[in-house]
C-alpha cells in the first residue's frame, strides 16, 4: 500500500472519520475519498488530485417551504460574525490579509454552499477555520440585528414619519423582481413542481420576505444547518491530517440528528397556462409579450440527457440561422428566441423563451414551435452540424477554463449536484463516455427521438405568458404605500415607539466599530508560514525538423494547447506595423480553399481555439535588442491535431489578400477601434510612449500597438487607392518569409506523444532563419503631450531601471504595491480626483507611474515626483510591512490554468527567465526590509528626474500641463 494512502487512512481514524470508499477516477487522474464523521454522520468528500490550489466548501441541503427567502438571508447572515470571530465582516478582513484565491457563498434552490480556496496550507487552514465557525456558530442566532440588517426591517423615524421596509436581501430581491426573467423563472418553477420545494423562490419574493419572523429564521437554521445533514467538500493536493483534525474538532460538539430531508420526485403535471403582467415603461407595447415554455426532461442521474439537451438548445436556437429561431424571426413572430436548460437540480428542465411577440399571435407562435419541432424530428437534424456542436461542448468540458472560478470549486459543485440527491458524487466528474455515446447516437436518431419524447410528447411541461403593463408599476407602488400606511395605522403609539427604538438600536449596532481584540483574534499568516519556493512549471526543450519545441507535459484532459512563435527580429519598424495589421487579418480573411464564412465554420467545428497575437520578448534588463514575434494560439482535442495542422497551414500560408475592398474595410475598422481605444485607455498609450524611449522592446511594442501604429494606419488609409495592391502583395510576402520552420518556436502544453509533435513541426516549409535582432527601434525620450478630441486626461511618467544602473528585485514589487495602495491612492485618486492610478515596475525593468481618467493630469505628474520621498517617510515610521508583503505575493501569483502555465513557461523561455530567477524574486519579496525600500525610493527619484513623461488629454488638460511638456502633437 502506498504511503500517501496510508497517511490519509491514519489521519481519518485519528480525527474521528470513517472511510466509506476510496476510488481512483482514471478519466481525471484523481482519487475520490468518501468518509463520514463517526459521531454524527457528517459527510466528507475529498477529490485528491495534483492541484496545488486547495478548495474547501461546507454545503447544506436547504429546502425552502415558502417564498420568504430564509436561506438566502441566512447565507448573508452567516458571513456577519461568529462565536470565535465576533467581528462584523470577518470575510472582508480575511480577503485583506490572506493568500485566498477564492471566498464566497451561494444560495441555490435546494442547497447553500460556502467555498474558500488557497494555495498555502496554513492559509487554507485559517480560512477553513473561519468558515467552519461561521456556518456552525453564527452570531446571527443571538443578534437579531443581523437578521434585521441582512433580511428585512421596518423603518420609521418618528411617530408622524412614513413607514417603509429595508434590508440587504429585501432590496436585492426587489431589484431581481424588476426583471421579467425572474418572473418567468419563478412562474415556471411554481407550475412545474407544485408538490416539492422547487415551487418556491429560494432567493425570496420581496412581497413575502417581510412575513419571515426571527423565530422562524432561527428554526430553519436549526433544522437544516446541522452537521448530520451537511457535506464538507475538499479538492486538491493537501496535507490532509491537519485539515481533518480541524474539521473533526468543529464537528465533535454535535450529536447526530436523524432528519434526512429527501426531496420527493415531482410526478408529471400539465397545468393551465400561467398569465402574468410585467412592468414596462415603454410607450409602444404592441409587441412586448413574452412567452415561455418549460419541459422537464430527466433526472439528476442522467447526465447524458443534460448534454443532449444542451446540444439541442444550441442546434435549435444558438444563432439567427438555427432552425427554430430562424422560423420565428423570419415570420416576424418574435424579436429574440432563447433556448436553455436549468440543471443542478433534482429534475432538470429545458426553457424556451420567445421575446417581443404580439399578444394576438400567441397561438401562431406555439403552432410554429410545434411544426418546426415535428419537421425536425421527422426529417432529421443536420448531423454534421450536430457533430460540430458536440465537439465544441466536449472541448469546453475538457479544457476547464472556468472563467475566474477555481477548478476545485467547480468540482465541488459537480459532486454536490449528484450526491445531494443520493447519487454518486463521481458521476458529473467523468463525462467522457457520455460524449462518446452521444456521438454514437447521432446516426441512430437519438436526437430526433429526444425531441419527440421530451418536447413533443412530454406529459411534464408548462407555459407562461408575460404581458406588458404600463400601469402595473404605479399600481404596485400605490398598493405598497397603502399597505404600509394601514400597518402603521393599526399600531398603537407604544407599538410605533417600539419600531422607532428598534431602528435606532439597529443603527447603533451598525455603527459600533469592531473591538481591536476581536479583530486581532482572526487568524493571520506570518512571513515564516509562506513557502520560500513555488513549484516550477515543467518544460522540456527539444528540436523537431529544425523547430525548437518547448513541451509542457501538464494534465490537460486530452487537449493540446499549441503556440507557434515566429521570430521577427529582422523586421524594420515599418514592417512591424505591417505585422500588426497582418495579425488582425489571419483567420478572418478568405483562403485558397475557404470563403470567410466557411473558414469560420471550420475553425469553430474542428478547433477549440484559433487566435493570433504579436509579442515582444527581451531578457531582463536588456535595452539594446529585442525579439518581436508573431504568435499563433491553437487549442484542439488530441485526436483533432491533424485538422489543426492543416487549418493552421491553410491560414498561415494560403490566406488570400486579393480582395482589396475587404482589406480596406479591415484597415478602417482597425483605425477606428484604435482611435476609440486611446480615449478609453490613454494611460497604456502614455506608458507605451515612455517605454519606447527607454528600450528596443519598448520601441517595438509601441510600433505594434501604440500611437505610431495609428499613424501608419491613417497613412495607409489615405493612400489606399495607389498603394492597396502593393499592400496586399507585401502581406503575402511577409507570410511567406515569416511562417517557416527556421523562425519557429513551438510551445506544446499537454501530454502529447512525440510523433504527433514531430508531425506538427514538419508541417511548414523550412525557410531561412532571421538575421540578428537590431536596436534602432528605440525612440527619443521626450516629455510629450498627445491631444485627443475629448475632455479626458491620462498622465504617465517613468523610465527604465537601466537608466539608474539598477536591476529588478522583488522589493520593487512590494514598493509598487505600497505606493499604489497608499500614497498614490490618497494623492492622485482621493485628492486629485483621478479614477485610478498606479505604479508598475516590471521584471523587465520598465517603471511607469500612470493615472486614469484624471482631471488634473499636470498635478499628477508632480505628485509622481514625490513618490520616492513618501516611501522614505513610510520607512521612517513604525508601519509593519507583513500584510503588504503577503498581498504582494498573492497579487504576483494568480491562479493559472494548465494552458496559461504552459504559456508562461514558454514566454519565460523566450525572455531567458529561469525558474531560479522566479524563485529569487519570490524570496526577495518575502525578505523585503525597510532598507531595501529606501534604496527603491532613491531609484524612483532618479527615474522621475531622468525619465520621460506623457499626457494623453483634451485641450484644457494639456494647456494646464504646458510647463511640464517639451513637445505636443495631435492624436
Ligand atoms: Zn444575495
DSSP lists the bridge partners of residue 839 as 849
**C-alpha distances in Å from residue 851, one per residue of 175, 656, 792, 870:** 34, 43, 11, 18
pLDDT of residue 774: 61
Q: What angle do CA 461, 464, 469 make, to 5 degrees?
A: 180
Residue 1 scores a pLDDT above 60: no
CA of 149 to the centre of ligand 1 (A): 13
CA of 202 to the centre of ligand 1 (A): 11
Task: Give the residue ranges of DSSP H helices in 82-235.
Answer: 90-97, 121-136, 144-150, 168-176, 180-192, 214-224
Task: Give the residue ranges of DSSP H helices in 787-881.
Answer: 810-821, 823-824, 857-865, 867-876
How much of the chain exceeds pLDDT 90, in percent?
A: 72
Radius of gyration of the chain (CA): 31
CATH 3.30.830.10 domain range(s) in the chain: 3-263+493-521, 282-403+422-469, 540-761, 783-881+928-970
CA of 112 to the centre of ligand 1 (A): 12
CA of 68 to the centre of ligand 1 (A): 13
CA of 183 to the centre of ligand 1 (A): 17
CA of 72 to the centre of ligand 1 (A): 6
CA of 109 to the centre of ligand 1 (A): 13
pLDDT of residue 772: 62
CA of 44 to the centre of ligand 1 (A): 26
CA of 244 to the centre of ligand 1 (A): 30
CA of 176 to the centre of ligand 1 (A): 10
CA of 554 to the centre of ligand 1 (A): 38
Per-residue pLDDT tens over the stretch 557-584: 889 999 999 999 899 999 999 999 999 9
Per-residue pLDDT tens over the stretch 214-229: 999 999 999 999 999 9
The larger pLDDT score, comparing residue 943 to residue 595, is at 943
Q: What is the mean pLDDT of residues 656-670?
A: 91
Q: Are 779 and 969 contacting, i.e. CB atoms less than 8 angstroms apart?
A: no
Gap between the Cα atoms of 183 and 278, Å rounded: 8
The three cell numbers locating residue 446: 437519438
CA of 106 to the centre of ligand 1 (A): 8
If pLDDT is split at 50, 70 and 90, which confidence band does 907 have?
A: very high
CA of 111 to the centre of ligand 1 (A): 14
The three cell numbers locating residue 176: 431581481
CA of 481 to the centre of ligand 1 (A): 25
CA of 76 to the centre of ligand 1 (A): 6
The three cell numbers locating residue 191: 407550475
CA of 204 to the centre of ligand 1 (A): 10
CA of 227 to the centre of ligand 1 (A): 23
Q: Which among 850, 738, 715 has a CA at the least distance from the CA of 707?
A: 715
CA of 177 to the centre of ligand 1 (A): 13
Total Cβ atoms within 10 A of residue 910: 21
Gap between the Cα atoms of 565 and 568, Å rounded: 9
CA of 70 to the centre of ligand 1 (A): 11
Task: Tell which CATH classification among 3.60.20.10, 1.10.10.10, 3.40.225.10, 3.30.830.10 matches the domain 783-881+928-970.
Answer: 3.30.830.10
Place of cell 491560414: 651
Helix H, strand E, coil C: the string for 646-686 is HHHHHHHHHECCCCHHHHHHHHHHHHHHHHHHHHHCHHHHH
Residue 212 scores a pLDDT above 90: yes
Helix H, strand E, coil C: the string for 182-193 is HHHHHHHHHHHC
What count of Cα atoms within 13 Å lies in the side-chain half-sphere of residue 28? 24
CATH number of 282-403+422-469: 3.30.830.10
CA of 108 to the centre of ligand 1 (A): 11
CA of 246 to the centre of ligand 1 (A): 28
CA of 150 to the centre of ligand 1 (A): 9
CA of 169 to the centre of ligand 1 (A): 6
pLDDT of residue 426: 95
Residue 207 scores a pLDDT above 60: yes
CA of 652 to the centre of ligand 1 (A): 49
Per-residue pLDDT tens over the stretch 814-868: 999 999 988 998 899 877 888 889 999 999 999 999 999 888 899 999 999 999 9
Q: What is the mean pLDDT of residues 472-486?
A: 90
Per-residue pLDDT tens over the stretch 709-758: 999 999 999 999 999 999 999 999 999 999 999 999 999 999 988 889 98
Per-residue pLDDT tens over the stretch 866-887: 999 999 999 998 878 888 898 8
CA of 78 to the centre of ligand 1 (A): 12
CA of 463 to the centre of ligand 1 (A): 28
Residue 598 scores a pLDDT above 90: no
CA of 140 to the centre of ligand 1 (A): 16
CA of 376 to the centre of ligand 1 (A): 42
Q: What is the mean pLDDT of residues 914-922?
A: 93
Looking only at the bridges linking them, the beta strands covering 274-279 and 461-469 are parallel
Gap between the Cα atoms of 307 and 386, Å rounded: 12
CA of 125 to the centre of ligand 1 (A): 26
How confident is the prediction for the chain on average, in pLDDT? 92
Please state the separation of Cα 272 from the chain's center in Å: 40
If pLDDT is split at 50, 70 and 90, which confidence band does 318 have?
A: confident
If pLDDT is split at 50, 70 and 90, which confidence band does 379 have?
A: very high
CA of 377 to the centre of ligand 1 (A): 42
Q: What is the mean pLDDT of residues 699-716?
A: 95
CA of 942 to the centre of ligand 1 (A): 50
What CATH class has 3-263+493-521?
A: alpha beta
Gap between the Cα atoms of 595 and 533, Å rounded: 51
CA of 74 to the centre of ligand 1 (A): 10
CA of 309 to the centre of ligand 1 (A): 29
DSSP lists the bridge partners of residue 47 as 32, 235
CA of 662 to the centre of ligand 1 (A): 49
pLDDT of residue 399: 81
CA of 135 to the centre of ligand 1 (A): 16
Determine the angle formed by the axes of helices 660-680 and 682-692, rounding to 10 degrees. Answer: 100
The three cell numbers locating residue 443: 446516426
Residue 187 scores a pLDDT above 70: yes
CA of 852 to the centre of ligand 1 (A): 32
pLDDT of residue 27: 73
CA of 218 to the centre of ligand 1 (A): 18
CA of 261 to the centre of ligand 1 (A): 24
CA of 46 to the centre of ligand 1 (A): 28
CA of 187 to the centre of ligand 1 (A): 20
Q: What is the mean pLDDT of residues 10-24?
A: 97
The larger pLDDT score, comparing residue 389 to residue 231, is at 231
Residue 513 scores a pLDDT above 90: no
CA of 81 to the centre of ligand 1 (A): 17
pLDDT of residue 261: 92
CA of 933 to the centre of ligand 1 (A): 42
Gap between the Cα atoms of 538 and 555, Å rounded: 11
CA of 173 to the centre of ligand 1 (A): 8
The three cell numbers locating residue 765: 516549409
Cα end-to-end distance, the chain, whole Å? 70
Place of cell 493615472: 851
Task: Tell which CATH classification among 3.30.465.10, 3.30.830.10, 3.40.50.1580, 1.20.1250.20 matches the domain 540-761.
Answer: 3.30.830.10
For the CA atoms of 465, 467, 471, 477, what is the dihedral angle to 10 degrees? 30
CA of 86 to the centre of ligand 1 (A): 21
Total Cβ atoms within 10 A of residue 335: 13
Contacts made by residues 711-716, CB under 8 angstroms, sequence distance 24+: 712/574, 712/577, 713/577, 713/581, 713/667, 713/670, 713/671, 713/674, 714/671, 716/581, 716/667
CA of 472 to the centre of ligand 1 (A): 26
CA of 305 to the centre of ligand 1 (A): 31
CA of 295 to the centre of ligand 1 (A): 28
CA of 203 to the centre of ligand 1 (A): 7
CA of 166 to the centre of ligand 1 (A): 14
CA of 73 to the centre of ligand 1 (A): 7
CA of 151 to the centre of ligand 1 (A): 10
CA of 418 to the centre of ligand 1 (A): 24
CA of 396 to the centre of ligand 1 (A): 29
Quote the DSSP letter at residue 825. Answer: I
Gap between the Cα atoms of 151 and 216, Å rounded: 12
Quick check: helix, strand or coil at residue 631? strand
CA of 355 to the centre of ligand 1 (A): 27
Amino acid at each position: 500500500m502506498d504511503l500517501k494512502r496510508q497517511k490519509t487512512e491514519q489521519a481519518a481514524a485519528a480525527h474521528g472519520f470513517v472511510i466509506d470508499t476510496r476510488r481512483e477516477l482514471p478519466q481525471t487522474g484523481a482519487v475520490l475519498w468518501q468518509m463520514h464523521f463517526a459521531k454524527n454522520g457528517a459527510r466528507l468528500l475529498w477529490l485528491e488530485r495534483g492541484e496545488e490550489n486547495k478548495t474547501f466548501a461546507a454545503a447544506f441541503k436547504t429546502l425552502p417551504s415558502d417564498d420568504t427567502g430564509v436561506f438566502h438571508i441566512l447565507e448573508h447572515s452567516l458571513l456577519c460574525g461568529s462565536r470565535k470571530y465576533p467581528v462584523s465582516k470577518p470575510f472582508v478582513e480575511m480577503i485583506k490579509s490572506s493568500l485566498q484565491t477564492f471566498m464566497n457563498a451561494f444560495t441555490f434552490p435546494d442547497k447553500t454552499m460556502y467555498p474558500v480556496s488557497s494555495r498555502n496550507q496554513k492559509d487554507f487552514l485559517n480560512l477553513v477555520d473561519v468558515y467552519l465557525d461561521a456556518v456552525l456558530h453564527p452570531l446571527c442566532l443571538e443578534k437579531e440585528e443581523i437578521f434585521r440588517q441582512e433580511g428585512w426591517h421596518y423603518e420609521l423615524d418618528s411617530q408622524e414619519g412614513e413607514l417603509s421596509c429595508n434590508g440587504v436581501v429585501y432590496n436585492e430581491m426587489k431589484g431581481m423582481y424588476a426583471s421579467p426573467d425572474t418572473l418567468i423563472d419563478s412562474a415556471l418553477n411554481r407550475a412545474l413542481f407544485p408538490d416539492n420545494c422547487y415551487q418556491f423562490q429560494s432567493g425570496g419574493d420581496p412581497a413575502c420576505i417581510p412575513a419571515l419572523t426571527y423565530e422562524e429564521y432561527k428554526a430553519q437554521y436549526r433544522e437544516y444547518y446541522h452537521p448530520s445533514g451537511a457535506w464538507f467538500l475538499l479538492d486538491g493536493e493537501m496535507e490532509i491530517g491537519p485539515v481533518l483534525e480541524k474539521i473533526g474538532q468543529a464537528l465533535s460538539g454535535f450529536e447526530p440528528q436523524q432528519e434526512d430531508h429527501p426531496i420527493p420526485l415531482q410526478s408529471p403535471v400539465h397545468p393551465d397556462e400561467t398569465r402574468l403582467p410585467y412592468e414596462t415603461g415603454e410607450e409602444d407595447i404592441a409587441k412586448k409579450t413574452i412567452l415561455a415554455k418549460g419541459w422537464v426532461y430527466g433526472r439528476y442521474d442522467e447526465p447524458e440527457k443534460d448534454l443532449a439537451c444542451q446540444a439541442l438548445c444550441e442546434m435549435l436556437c444558438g444563432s439567427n440561422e438555427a432552425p427554430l429561431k430562424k422560423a420565428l424571426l423570419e415570420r416576424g413572430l418574435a424579436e429574440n428566441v432563447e433556448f436553455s436548460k436549468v440543471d443542478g437540480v433534482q429534475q432538470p428542465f429545458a426553457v424556451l423563451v420567445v421575446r417581443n411577440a404580439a399578444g394576438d399571435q400567441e397561438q401562431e407562435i406555439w403552432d410554429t414551435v410545434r411544426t418546426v419541432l415535428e419537421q425536425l424530428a421527422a426529417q432529421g437534424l443536420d448531423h454534421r452540424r450536430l457533430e460540430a456542436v458536440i465537439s465544441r461542448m466536449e472541448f469546453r468540458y475538457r479544457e476547464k477554463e472556468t472563467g475566474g472560478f477555481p477548478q476545485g470549486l467547480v468540482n465541488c459543485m459537480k459532486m454536490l449536484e449528484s450526491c445531494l440527491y443520493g447519487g454518486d458524487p463521481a458521476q458529473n466528474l467523468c463525462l467522457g463516455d457520455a460524449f462518446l455515446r452521444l456521438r454514437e447516437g447521432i446516426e441512430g436518431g437519438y436526437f430526433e427521438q429526444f425531441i419527440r419524447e421530451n418536447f413533443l410528447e412530454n406529459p411534464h411541461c408548462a407555459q407562461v405568458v408575460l404581458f406588458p403593463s404600463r400601469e402595473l408599476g404605479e399600481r404596485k407602488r400605490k398598493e405598497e404605500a397603502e399597505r404600509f400606511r394601514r400597518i402603521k395605522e393599526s399600531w398603537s403609539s407604544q407599538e410605533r415607539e417600539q419600531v422607532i427604538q428598534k431602528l435606532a438600536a439597529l443603527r447603533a449596532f451598525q455603527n459600533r466599530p469592531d473591538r481591536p481584540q476581536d479583530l486581532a483574534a482572526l487568524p493571520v499568516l506570518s512571513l515564516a508560514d509562506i513557502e520560500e519556493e513555488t513549484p516550477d512549471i515543467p518544460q522540456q526543450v527539444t528540436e523537431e525538423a529544425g523547430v525548437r519545441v518547448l513541451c509542457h507535459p501538464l494534465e490537460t484532459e486530452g487537449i493540446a494547447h499549441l503556440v507557434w512563435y515566429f521570430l521577427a527580429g529582422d523586421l524594420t519598424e515599418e514592417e512591424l506595423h505591417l505585422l500588426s495589421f497582418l495579425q488582425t487579418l489571419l483567420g478572418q480573411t478568405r483562403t485558397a480553399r475557404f470563403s470567410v464564412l466557411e473558414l469560420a465554420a471550420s475553425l469553430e467545428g474542428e478547433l477549440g481555439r484559433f487566435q493570433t497575437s504579436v509579442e515582444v520578448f527581451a531578457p531582463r534588463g536588456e535595452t539594446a535588442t529585442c525579439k518581436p514575434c508573431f504568435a499563433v494560439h491553437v487549442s484542439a482535442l488530441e485526436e483533432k491535431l491533424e485538422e489543426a495542422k492543416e487549418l493552421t497551414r491553410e491560414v498561415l500560408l494560403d490566406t488570400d489578400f486579393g480582395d482589396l475592398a475587404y482589406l480596406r474595410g479591415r484597415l478602417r475598422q482597425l483605425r477606428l477601434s484604435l482611435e476609440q481605444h486611446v480615449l478609453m485607455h490613454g494611460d497604456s498609450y502614455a506608458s507605451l510612449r515612455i517605454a519606447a524611449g527607454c528600450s528596443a522592446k519598448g520601441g517595438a511594442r509601441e510600433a505594434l500597438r501604440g500611437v505610431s501604429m495609428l499613424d501608419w494606419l491613417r497613412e495607409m488609409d489615405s493612400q489606399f487607392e495607389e498603394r492597396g495592391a502593393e499592400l496586399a502583395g507585401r502581406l503575402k510576402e511577409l507570410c511567406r518569409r515569416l511562417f517557416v520552420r527556421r523562425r519557429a518556436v513551438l510551445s506544446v502544453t499537454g501530454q502529447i506523444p512525440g510523433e504527433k509533435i514531430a508531425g506538427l513541426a514538419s508541417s511548414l516549409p523550412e525557410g531561412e532563419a532571421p538575421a540578428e535582432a537590431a536596436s534602432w527601434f528605440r525612440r527619443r525620450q521626450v516629455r510629450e503631450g498627445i491631444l485627443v478630441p475629448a475632455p479626458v486626461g491620462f498622465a504617465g511618467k517613468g523610465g527604465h531601471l537601466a537608466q539608474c544602473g539598477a536591476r529588478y528585485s522583488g522589493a520593487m514589487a512590494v514598493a509598487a504595491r505600497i505606493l499604489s495602495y497608499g500614497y498614490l491612492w490618497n494623492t492622485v485618486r482621493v485628492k486629485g480626483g483621478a479614477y485610478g492610478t498606479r505604479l508598475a515596475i516590471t521584471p523587465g525593468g520598465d517603471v511607469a507611474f500612470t493615472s486614469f481618467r484624471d482631471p488634473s493630469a499636470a498635478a499628477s505628474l508632480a505628485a509622481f515626483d514625490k513618490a520616492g520621498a513618501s516611501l522614505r517617510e513610510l520607512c521612517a515610521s513604525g508601519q509593519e510591512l507583513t500584510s503588504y508583503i503577503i498581498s504582494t505575493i498573492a497579487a504576483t501569483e494568480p491562479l493559472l490554468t494548465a494552458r496559461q502555465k504552459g504559456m508562461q513557461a514558454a514566454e519565460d523561455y523566450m525572455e531567458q527567465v529561469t525558474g531560479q530567477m522566479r524563485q529569487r524574486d519570490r524570496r526577495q519579496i518575502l525578505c523585503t526590509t525597510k532598507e531595501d525600500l529606501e534604496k527603491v525610493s532613491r531609484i524612483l527619484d532618479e527615474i522621475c528626474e531622468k525619465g520621460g513623461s506623457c499626457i494623453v488629454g483634451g485641450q484644457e488638460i494639456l494647456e494646464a500641463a504646458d510647463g511640464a511638456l517639451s513637445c505636443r502633437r495631435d492624436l
